[in-house]
């Protein structure tokens, strides 16, 4: 992996983390049942990704979908499950708790990466992950916020995301954009019969379109394109930026003030991720074939 690819991966995965961190904001803003929200978020996410594929790949677009293979379908299924667990968890616990539970994903991804590829994480990534875990433990352990069901759903989402990170690293031939489009479509179709999507009014429809395009389409596209350039633990670590960002948007928009322990833990996570990114950006890298 050369240095340029590594930096590109960091930029893209960071952009995905920012896009995903807006999920809590949208779930608080849109006053609809969870399944209706998931249905339209998935369909708009799929539509936005499909438009991007058509604009960038033109005549090769259909061939890209046909070439997914079983790894692509499995990735799309994991992503769809992760989406459902993610949005549902936000309705059963605080945004802060969902975000910080997800920050444990570097350890899950590191374990899966070692089992699947014998990929050994760097010392910097391990130190940063340990610091991030300490921040999560502080937030969840000392805060009175949250709910047990929402926390369990967030843990399931974390496991799904870790699996996606390892798969994108292991099977680099997976066509990133088609699987992102398919995963959003599967989520939308699975949720459609469980909600009331045809009863949505004009204002909510616009919000759902923004939710699907910004949070789902852009988030998945950036993640799928960037994850192939980074080790699984590093991808997981960078996406942990969701932990301090997600509660921030909700606090600014809705005054959902996190507890002091949540704020302190989030600051630790943010410092760990930022420190790792700066370290990886400035240190000399040994070129290797990945």
Q: Is 256 in contact with 138 (CB distance < 8 Å)?
A: no
Residue 289 lies in a domain: no
62 in a structural domain: yes
**Residue 225 placed within a domain:** yes
C-beta atoms surrounding 138 within 10 Å: 20
**pLDDT confidence bin for 143, thresholds 50/70/90:** low
Give the pLDDT score at 286. Answer: 47
**93-135, pLDDT tens digit by residue?**
877 778 777 777 777 777 777 777 776 767 777 787 788 777 7
- In the three-class reduction of DSSP (H, G, I as helix; E, B as strand; rest coil), residue 212 is classed as helix
pLDDT confidence bin for 162, thresholds 50/70/90: confident
| Packing angle of the helix pair 69-90, 34-57 (nearest 10 deg) | 140
d(CA 47, CA 187): 13
Total domain count, the chain:
1
> Is 48 among the domain residues?
yes
Q: Is residue 108 part of a domain?
A: yes
Closest residue by Cα to residue 160 from 230, 208, 68, 223:
223
Query: Would you place residue 289 in the very low, low, confident or very high pLDDT band (cuts 50, 70, 90)?
Result: very low
Residue 288 has pLDDT above 60, yes or no: no
Mean per-residue pLDDT for 214-235?
83
Q: How confident is the model at residue 243, as a pLDDT?
A: 72
The residue among 290 and 28 whose pLDDT is bigger is 28
| Percent residues over pLDDT 90 in the chain | 22
Which domain range does residue 189 map to?
Answer: 3-282
Domain assignment present for 287: no
Euclidean distance between the first and final Cα of the chain, in Å?
5
Q: Could you tell me how many helices (H) and strands (E) the chain has, helices first?
A: 15, 0
Q: Report yes or no on 247 lying in a domain.
A: yes
């Amino acid at each position: 992996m050369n240095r340029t690819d590594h930096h590109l991966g960091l930029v893209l995965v960071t952009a995905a983390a920012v896009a995903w961190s807006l999920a809590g904001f949208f779930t608080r803003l849109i006053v609809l049942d969870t399944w209706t929200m998931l249905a339209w978020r998935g369909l708009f996410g799929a539509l936005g990704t499909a438009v991007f594929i058509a604009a960038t790949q033109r005549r090769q677009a259909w061939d890209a979908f046909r070439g997914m293979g079983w790894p692509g379908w499995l990735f799309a299924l994991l992503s769809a499950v992760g989406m459902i667990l993610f949005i549902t968890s936000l309705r059963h616990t605080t945004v802060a708790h969902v975000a910080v539970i997800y920050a444990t994903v570097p350890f899950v991804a590191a374990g899966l990466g070692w089992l699947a590829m014998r990929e050994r994480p760097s010392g910097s990534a391990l130190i940063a992950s340990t610091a991030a875990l300490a921040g999560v433990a502080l937030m969840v352990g000392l805060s009175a916020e949250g709910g047990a069901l929402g926390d369990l759903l967030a843990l399931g989402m974390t496991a799904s995301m870790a699996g996606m990170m390892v798969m994108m690293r292991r099977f680099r031939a997976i066509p990133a954009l088609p699987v992102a489009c398919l995963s959003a479509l599967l989520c939308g179709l699975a949720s459609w019969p469980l909600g009331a999507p045809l009863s949505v009014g004009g204002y909510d429809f616009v919000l759902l379109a923004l939710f699907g395009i910004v949070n789902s389409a852009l988030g998945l596209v950036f993640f799928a394109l960037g994850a192939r350039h980074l080790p699984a633990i590093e991808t997981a670590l960078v996406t942990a930026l969701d932990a301090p960002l997600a509660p921030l948007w909700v606090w600014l928009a809705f005054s959902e003030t996190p507890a002091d322990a949540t704020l302190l833990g989030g600051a630790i996570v943010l410092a760990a991720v930022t420190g790792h990114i700066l370290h990886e950006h400035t240190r000399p890298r040994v070129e290797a074939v990945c």
